[in-house]
Amino acid sequence: MTESFFVLGDQLSTDVAPWPTMSTKTVIVMVETDVLLKAPRHRTRTALYLTAMRAFAEELRARGFEVDYRSARNFSEGLAAHRAAFEPSVIRMNQPRGRRAKALFQRLKLEMLDDPFYLTNLEDFRQLVSGARVPTMEQFYRHQRRRLDVLMADDGPVGGRWNYDEENRLPLPKNGGSWPTPWSRPLSSAEKEIVQHLELSHPGGDALEFWPRTRSDALDQLADAMTRIIPHFGPYEDAASGENWHLAHTRLSVALNLGLLHPREVLDAAITTFETGLAPLASVEGFIRQIIGWREWVWGWHQLRTDEYRSLNRLEATEPLPMTWRNFGAHDMSCINHVLGHLRDYGWTHHIERLMVLANAATLAGIEPLALNDWMAENFVDGAEWVMEANVLGMGTFADGGLTSTKPYVAGGNYIKKMTNFCRDCTFLPTERVGPRACPLTNAYWNFFLDEKEAIATNHRLAPQRRAAEQRPDRVEIRHGVSRSRSIIAGDGDLPVA
């Protein structure tokens, strides 16, 4: 009788427990399912998982492990076939990051170890949030700074401030800016074959070269990010460009979410970058907040919540996810067209394009939040159940009614015009609320505050916008124009008359 250890496609590290003490007599099990191989998800995302999993299996074989690498209709069949072939006394695994995956493998009688890919103990997180009257990410982040002794001087933050958001909200430079080229590695012949095999069955472009497939790739990208990217990150982290899909974002979320990097080593690298004077405090603090604050906060809440969270829809949004979005099609609105193009070509967009373009447009158009959530999870290279849930259902669409953020993240065309260059080649005018060339976001934004839904009407943080909307002399025209605006956002509206 043997012992087996099961590895998922987002647990690709031998530098975490229990690997350092694992005997090479343990048989390693990995399964490629039909969901991965055949579901019409983004081609680059699918290729990334296939290449990373297969590379990890080869690494394990080189270390002397026997690897039972299988293709199966689902995990249940794959594990049943493994049990029949090897008759293991036990199959262990590190706890899956996703809540539904955990429930599945519990039913399949796998013995689960603690998840080693985070900095926060789940029980500590539970006690922290249960002990707060209204738990907030900012409170959690400051707790993390103190607990982990990150950028601290005595009992206060280095520089005298906990965050530098105000310094990190510059709009895109008028000349478009100059940005470091993104990390990449050319594809091997085997990787090229995988990408080509998926070409006809999976939507989206081939951008695998821009994403790490091995531990060596991830370490190389981390070093590159700390020397070339993060020094430029902070000031323009909320800007977006139609001509540049990456700006000064490190794009390390993929390596972290696949398990190729651990947040501890990313944190240490960022601190070293600041201490050696390679990057300013504002940039490093903004980056670190995402690693030890938001990322751990989102994971902790995902573990504590139940699947009932996925059904929350406080804004009663029921419109279907547009086919134009699903197909990454050409769109009449320049901002959505650019962001869908970035997603189509690279399987990724940065956080402002996700939050303030896609999620904002979906919220204003009344698009069903769970459909948006699952589409994003299936098509972004760093998409996953645990990470998208709070980002999309909570912050992005306010479907949870304030459990994640205290107010909806909605904005009209003026915000897009200020922070990006999307509007310059758009048929619609961001300053216009009504009329044939009114920006659909601007019209739908003002209509949002005229809505009588309880989650909007009772939110005290929205009171100033509600009063401003109710006092607008064109509020009746705004209400009449919203159906057209929502239709255009969905990608099936008529073009305005010039």
CATH number at residue 385: 1.10.579.10
102 in the same domain as 37: yes
Burial class (CB in 10 A: 0-12, 13-18, 19+), 391: buried
The pLDDT of residue 492 is above 90: no
CATH number at residue 197: 1.25.40.80
Query: What is the tens place of the pLDDT at every residue in 249-288?
Result: 999 999 999 999 999 999 999 999 999 999 999 999 999 9
Query: What is the tens place of the pLDDT at every residue in 465-491?
Result: 999 999 999 999 999 999 999 999 999
* Mean pLDDT of all residues in 13-19: 97
494 within a domain of the structure (yes/no): no
pLDDT of residue 493: 52
Domain that holds residue 465: 311-489
Provide, rounded to the nearest whole percent, the portion of the chain with pLDDT above 90.
95
pLDDT of residue 496: 43
286 in the same domain as 165: yes
338 in the same domain as 257: no
320 in the same domain as 366: yes
491 vs 329: CA distance, rounded Å: 9
349 in the same domain as 292: no
Between 494 and 336, the higher pLDDT residue: 336
497 within a domain of the structure (yes/no): no
58 within a domain of the structure (yes/no): yes
The pLDDT of residue 455 is above 80: yes
375 in the same domain as 262: no
391 in the same domain as 420: yes
The pLDDT of residue 464 is above 50: yes
Q: Compute φ and ψ for 441, nearest 5 degrees.
A: -70, -40
pLDDT of residue 452: 85
Give 429's DSSP letter.
B
43 within a domain of the structure (yes/no): yes
pLDDT of residue 427: 95
pLDDT of residue 60: 98
189 within a domain of the structure (yes/no): yes
63 within a domain of the structure (yes/no): yes
Which of these, 190, 187, 193, lies nearest to 207 by C-alpha position? 187
Give the residue from 249, 272, 304 where a domain finishes.
304
Which residues does 240 contact at the CB level (< 8 Å), separation at least 6?
172, 247, 338, 339, 350, 352, 353, 356, 357, 419, 420, 422
495 within a domain of the structure (yes/no): no
Query: What is the tens place of the pLDDT at every residue in 28-50?
Result: 999 999 999 999 999 999 999 99
395 vs 248: CA distance, rounded Å: 23
* Mean pLDDT of all residues in 348-370: 98
Give the residue from 113, 139, 173 where a domain finishes.
113
296 vs 307: CA distance, rounded Å: 19
Query: What is the tens place of the pLDDT at every residue in 79-107?
Result: 999 999 999 999 999 999 999 999 999 99
CA 179 → CA 172, 299, 381, distances in Å? 11, 31, 22
Indicate the number of domains in the chain.
3
270 vs 440: CA distance, rounded Å: 40
* Mean pLDDT of all residues in 190-199: 97
* Mean pLDDT of all residues in 45-60: 98
Average pLDDT over all residues of the chain: 96
Which of these, 400, 398, 378, lies nearest to 388 by C-alpha position? 378
49 within a domain of the structure (yes/no): yes
196 in the same domain as 160: yes
> What tokens does 102 get?
């955990």
139 in the same domain as 238: yes
The pLDDT of residue 184 is above 70: yes
315 in the same domain as 297: no
73 in the same domain as 196: no
* Mean pLDDT of all residues in 392-405: 95
Which of these, 338, 301, 330, 168, lies nearest to 239 by C-alpha position? 168
The pLDDT of residue 155 is above 90: no
pLDDT of residue 133: 86
Confidence of residue 300 (pLDDT cuts 50, 70, 90): very high
Which of these, 274, 255, 298, lies nearest to 141 by C-alpha position? 298
189 in the same domain as 66: no
CATH number at residue 43: 3.40.50.620
Provide, rounded to the nearest whole percent, the portion of the chain with pLDDT above 70.
99
Give the residue from 304, 322, 338 where a domain finishes.
304
Query: What is the tens place of the pLDDT at every residue in 116-133?
Result: 999 999 999 999 999 888
Confidence of residue 150 (pLDDT cuts 50, 70, 90): very high
